Every structure is written in C-alpha cells, then in structure tokens.
Amino acid sequence: MTTVLDLRQTDDPRDIIHRTVQALSEGQVVALPTDTVYGLAAHALDADAVEKIIQIKGRGDAPMAISVRSRQAAEDFFCEASPVARRLSYRCWPGPLTLVTPCENSHSAVNQLPQSVRDRITGDGGGIGFRVVEHRILEAIHRFMAAPLVLTSANLSGKPAQTEAQGVVDQLSGRLPLLLDDGPTRYGGASTVVRVVGNRWELLREGVIERAAMNQFVKPVIVMVCTGNTCRSPMAETLMRELLRKKLGCEDAVRVLSAGVAASAGHSASPQSIEVMGDRKLDLTGHASQPLGDEIMNVADLLLTMTRSHRAAILAAWPDMHDRVFTLRHDGGDISDPIGMPVDAYRQCADQMEQELEQWFERLEDDFFPEVSDGDKESA
C-alpha cells in the first residue's frame, strides 16, 4: 500500500521532508514532484535502491538521470565542463533542463558511485544526465543528503509521464512505499534533454524549453564594460559585433553587450562615438546605456573592461567571476577615456580597441563557439 503525503495540507513541510530523507536513506524509492513531472527517486549510493526503480517501472536499459542540489554540485561530476555545458548550467539551472555530458575526469564524483549505479546512469558515448530541479521539496531533501539522487519519471515503462500525483497512484499504486503529492507540477511537461560534448550540442528531446530558446541559451555572451556606458564600451560593443560578423560569417552567433559600472539607464551614446562609428559605416544611434548588474553577470561568458579599476570593481562585487573578467588591453593597461576630448581622441580610442579585440578573437578557443549537431533524437 502506498502512503500518500499531501504537501498542500501542511503549513510546515519539515516532517514530510524528514520522513522522505529517512525513507531514501533506508533504501526505499520515493515518488515526488519535480518542476516538470512526478519522479521516482533513490539514493545514488544505494545500488539496491536504484535497482528497485527498475523493478517498479519495468524499465529496460535506458539511462536514468542524477539529481543534484546545485550547479556547483554538478561541477563536482563535470570537473572540467566545456564552455557550452557551463553556459547551459548557469542559464537553465535550477530549471527544466536535463544536461547530458561526459564525466571522464579521474577526479569526477561519479567514481564514488557503485559500478552498477554508474551503469544505470551512463548512456551512449559515456554521457550522464544531470538535473537541478526547481522545486522547494526536492531542494530541501538535497540539503539533508550528502549524496545525489537517481531520478526518473514516475510511470510504468512505455506509459506517459505524470504531472499529477493521482496519475502516479493509478499506475504504480502498491509498488511504492511513499508518494509526495504537491498538486500539478509547475511546467506540466517533460524536461528538455540536451547532450553536450565539447562545443557540440544536440537536442535529444524538446521538452519544456523549446528549441528556439535553447538556440539562445547556448550562445556566448561577451560584455564590454566602462564607466558610464556612453563612449568606450558602446564603441567596443559595436566593433566586436562587426568583427564577429566578419570572422564567423553571421551576425547572431554571439551576443555582444555593453554596460557601465556607474551607468544610468537609457542614455544615448556620445555624439563623438556615434560619429566615429558612422565613419566606419557602423550604427550607434540606437544605443541606450545600462548599469552592470546581476542580470548581465549571470549570463556573461567573457567581460572585457576598459581599465584595471573597472575590473577590480567588478571582482569586488562578483569575486567568483575572476576567470571571466579581463581588461581589454592584453598588457593589463587602461583604455583612456576620451570623454570631453576632440573627436580625434575618439578615433584613436576606437583604433586601439579594435586592435585589442582582434587579439581577443584569436585567443578564444574553438569550444567557446557552440556547434549544433544535425537532427533531433528522442531520449528515453
């Protein structure tokens, strides 16, 4: 007989969370809500519990996913994630993405799992699927458990995944000791499954996140930063965008932005900047200044600052970004601010930035630029 605990009937879910953690620690399989569909979870260090999932579902050899508490926890498995994999983990987690990627590093936490569990979670090409679920209960469960969970949809093999607890009861009643009911799931559909190997990404299953959105999520984001975002960084943004268009043969393979560490929102570029870019047949008339904040920092792959003080200010506010924030000048020097000076000073500034940007493009590694595999494949 399956015990159903209704999360909606309690103001304090701590008792339910503790019962669930105890059940998982004792080797039981628990059905619980995620942000996409209801899932079956088992302790990843308990090989017998993972095998129980197979028995409950009547499932064959299709690999199951690993549920971890955070992006940082997933990096213990990735170890050296490619820029594309890291980009997706920052932009889509927590959320409805299953990210499949190899974990071949000898220091990967996957080596701490039992061999039989590794066999159950490893797919073709050695890829392992990871989820960082956006759901309060699963987030709380992970806080009490040192190890990850093996996670798969709560349905019989070959039957539809369920977005409400009653559907799980209808299919699996009597097979499960414990089911947590939190009503309909947030997204009401399956997670999107993407495989990433190096700079290549492949949409294995189009789920809640549609292909068009994935095409945007995988794009690199380069940000030019100065003080007020009206002179140097807007020119650098425009020059970088034109450089990428020439080098890559398209305009939208990379997102290029600019911002200021002390900028106000909505100011146009300086008249001199507009004139200098116009001389190069580049249009800066539509620019609107913006301050540098979390919204930009959370998606940025590379930030190039006009001065050392800009870089220091950014790292003081976002110290974890030290591997993505650099001065535009390769020697670590400053790009002088031309504000208040004649237009020739702006031309000299633009020439200097263009030379530095050329060198930055040459420094970017191949896996910085994503390459999509042809066609879709259905994931089990």
pLDDT reading at 131 higher than 60: yes
Give percent of the chain with pLDDT exceeding 90.
87
Lowest mean pLDDT: which of 65-69, 129-133, 224-228, 248-252?
Answer: 248-252
What's the pLDDT tens digit per position in 5-48?
999 999 899 999 999 999 999 999 999 999 999 999 999 999 99
Position 374 confidence tier, pLDDT thresholds 50, 70, 90: low
The rounded distance, in Å, linking the Cα atoms of 94 and 36 is 12
Residues 6+ apart with CB under 8 A from 340: none
pLDDT reading at 379 higher than 70: no
The rounded distance, in Å, linking the Cα atoms of 127 and 104 is 9
Angle made by CA atoms 11, 43, 142, in degrees to the nearest 5 = 40
Tokens of 257: 């932005």
Return the half-sphere exposure (C-beta side, CA atoms, 13 A cut-off) of residue 328: 31
108's enclosing H/E stretch is none
140 contacts 180 by C-beta, under 8 angstroms: no
pLDDT reading at 206 higher than 90: yes
pLDDT reading at 333 higher than 50: yes
The rounded distance, in Å, linking the Cα atoms of 18 and 137 is 11
What's the pLDDT tens digit per position in 143-195?
999 899 999 999 999 899 999 999 999 999 889 999 999 999 999 999 999 99
380 contacts 262 by C-beta, under 8 angstroms: no
Q: How many helices (H) and strands (E) does the chain have?
A: 13, 15
pLDDT reading at 380 higher than 70: no
**Secondary structure letter of residue 291 according to DSSP:** B
Residue 351 CB neighbour total at 10 angstroms = 12
Residues 6+ apart with CB under 8 A from 42: 24, 27, 28, 29, 30, 49, 50, 52, 53, 149, 150
Average pLDDT over residues 61-78: 93
- Indicate the domain borders of the chain: 3-216, 219-368
Give percent of the chain with pLDDT exceeding 70.
97
Does 3.90.870.10 match the CATH number of domain 3-216? yes
Q: What pLDDT score does 209 carry? A: 98
What's the pLDDT tens digit per position in 245-273?
999 988 788 999 999 999 999 999 999 99
Lowest mean pLDDT: which of 55-59, 98-102, 343-347?
Answer: 55-59
Read off the pTM. Answer: 0.89
Average pLDDT over residues 231-236: 98
261's enclosing H/E stretch is none
21 contacts 145 by C-beta, under 8 angstroms: yes
Q: What pLDDT score does 377 carry? A: 41
Tokens of 209: 């996140």
Tokens of 236: 């650098």
Backbone angles phi, psi at 22, to 5 degrees: -65, -45
Q: What pLDDT score does 252 carry? A: 84
Q: Is 122 helix (H, G, I), strand (E, B) or coil?
A: strand
Give every strand in the sheet of 302-305, ordered side by side.
255-260, 221-226, 302-305, 325-327
pLDDT reading at 309 higher than 50: yes
pLDDT reading at 232 higher than 50: yes
Q: What pLDDT score does 1 carry? A: 81
Position 80 confidence tier, pLDDT thresholds 50, 70, 90: confident
Does 3.90.550.10 match the CATH number of domain 219-368? no
